[in-house]
Structure formats: structure tokens, C-alpha cells
Amino acid sequence: MRFGRVLVAAVVMALIADLAVGQDKPTAPKGVFVGPEWVRRPTSDDLISAFPADAKASEGRTTLSCMVSVQGLLRDCKVATESPAGQGFGAAALAIVPQFLFRPATQDGRPLEVNLNLPFIFRCDVSCRSVAQGGRKLLNGLTWTSAPTQTEMVAVYPPKAKEKHILGVASIQCEMTATGGLKNCDTMSEEPRGQGFGKAAISLAKYFNKPTNVAPDLKLDGAFTRLTFTFGEQMYDGAPYVAKPKYAAAPTLGDLMNAYRAAAPKPDDIVSGEAMVKCRIVEEGALTDCTLIKETPAGQGIGAAVLAVAPKFKLQTWTDDGLPVIGTSVRLPIKFDIKDPPKVEPAKATNAP
């Protein structure tokens, strides 16, 4: 196969969905703005437990840049500064992020997402390191092969809290088994307290299994991890969907172009356009039962092409905001922005039997 001209193609995947609690995403604070406030802040024990085992320095400083969600959780955190560099203090701060909780920022009384810079100071001398974590590894940010489904999470929503429409967030810490399961879980934080959200979160730990983003030779037995659970409006929604998906797998540009050529009425006349499909998310984050919502321009095969490649997508099974993915749905928009499409020569006949 020989290409006559250069193909310039951008395949843009973005989710178009309502934000949590249904508010429009603000561009800038207006009116009465109240910033986020700590509900559960890092303790000295938290910092010691995550102190980098290989750090040579006894003190490290780092700043994380995070979004504070409308549930008061930290997400999309990135290391902004780290000193001394290269000793793991940024990664240590990222590892303990799931257990922290804020009262979200509000705009005229309505919660909204804001960016926040969070400084951390780690101090741990030789005697401190001998007891930190009890020699165990702290593993966070894991991508799970299996995780609780929407139905399973709804089933353990504390009945009294659900009856009164009380929303909650809980963080738990669990030991890991040799096969990648969880055991011996404890509640680290819950808000509001006394409503049973911590107990409900612990009951869901049994559904997490087999993290996929760890080294094959890493011994999981004896390590521990921390997880966040959000019991929010999505628990009352009869048709929930993932608002901010993270993909564990996706089709290649070649997959998309091949699907488009197969579906286009005139495969040599490739046009720019876009389509959106809605799919149901099943075991291991796979997509199924996809339906076309819209395509532009119509009748050019773009919608059919997106439907053809949709099964090649896989989502991570648990969100950073502590929400289930399996049993919900996702809206998947893909845009083809194509210039100078290649001229594909017909395959030459061969003498193979």
C-alpha cells in the first residue's frame, strides 16, 4: 500500500454530558463566591505512612495542583513543584489524595469545581522510617479489572440516608491480597458522619480485583491501597452515565479509517464530520449496545464507522471521583477532521494458493 499525499487527521474524543448536580460549568466566579474548605485534611500519620521508602532526604516538599469537585473530592491532581526532585515526594502526595475531603466551593450557594494548589511537607527521620507503613507499600491510582457496579453500589446505599436524600462521601483503606483483591478494610473518613457511608463503602471492597497498572513481578500481598466512594445524585438516576470517562483502551487511527472506508458510500471521497454514540458499560469496562445519537453530515458513513469501532474502547472501571462505571452508560463523540486523504492503491493479486 502506497500513500500519494500526506494524511492530516485529528480524531477528537470528548464527552458531552451534564455535570454533577446539573449545574453549568462556570467560566469564572461571579456573585457570592466561597472557596473550598477542609473537611478531612492530611495528618502527620498520613504523611509518614506515604513517606517515600527510597528517599535519601529526611524532608521533602511538594505542591499539587488539583480540581476540587462538586462532591468535595480532589481529582486530576498533578505535581506542580517538588523538592528535592526525583525522590518521590510528589508521587507520595498523589498517593494519599483519595482520603482527603473538602466542602466544595460555592457560587451563590451552588457547588462548583475550582482549581486548588495544595502544599505538602514530608518529614521522617531514620527512626520514623523504621515504623512508617510497617514496611508495607502504599499503592494508589490503581486501575481495576473489576470493580463495584452501579447496581451493587445502589444496593448498599444506607437506607435512612437514601430515604432523606442525604448524599455522602467515604474513603477507606484496605490490605491487598496476593491475587489483587482487598481485605481488612477500615474507614478513613466519611462525610457526613454517622450516616453509614463508611460501612457501605467497606461492603463494596470485595468487588475490587486484579489491578492492571502494576508491574507483573510486584508482590501485592502486604501492600495497601485507599479508595474513595461517592454516594450522590447518580444513585437516584435511573439512567446514569459516566460524565468524565478515562479510557483503558481505544481504537487506533487506522482502525477508525478502515471502519470509515468500509462504511462510506464513496470510500475514495473521505469527508470531515462527527458522530456521537451512546453505549452501555459492562464487565471490565467494555462497551456494548451502542446506538447512534447524531452524525454530521448525515449519510456519509461516519455514524456507522463510529459504531463499528466502539467495541474497541474500554473504560477504567472506577472513576477518580469514587463512582461506579460498570452498569452505567457513556456518550462517545468522535470527530473526523481530515485533509488531503491518501489515495489507496488496489491490492495486487498474488500467486498464493
Structural domains in the chain? 8-17+242-339 (3.30.2420.10), 36-104+112-125 (3.30.2420.10), 140-238 (3.30.2420.10)
Q: What pLDDT is recorded for position 245?
A: 83
Contact 316, 308 (CB under 8 A): no
Q: Residue ranges of the alpha helices (H) in 166-317?
A: 197-204, 253-263, 302-309
Rounded CA Rg of the chain: 24
Mean predicted confidence (pLDDT) in 302-308: 92
307 DSSP assignment: H
Q: How far apart are CA 101 and CA 252, in angstroms?
A: 38
Q: What pLDDT is recorded for position 134?
A: 45
Q: How far apart are CA 277 and CA 329, in angstroms?
A: 10
Q: What pLDDT is recorded for position 17?
A: 23
Q: What pLDDT is recorded for position 319?
A: 86
185 DSSP assignment: E
Strand partners, 209: 146
pLDDT digits (tens, 9 = 90+) for 128-168: 655 444 445 778 778 999 999 999 999 999 999 999 888 88
pLDDT digits (tens, 9 = 90+) for 96-115: 887 788 888 998 888 899 99
Q: What pLDDT is recorded for position 42?
A: 80
Contact 104, 70 (CB under 8 A): yes
Nine-digit cell string for 80? 506542580
Reported pTM: 0.69
pLDDT digits (tens, 9 = 90+) for 176-207: 999 999 999 999 888 888 999 999 999 999 99
Contact 336, 11 (CB under 8 A): yes
Residue 203, classified by CB atoms within 10 Å of its CB into exposed (0-12), middle (13-18) or buried (19+), is: middle
pLDDT digits (tens, 9 = 90+) for 255-294: 888 888 888 887 666 678 889 999 999 999 999 999 999 9
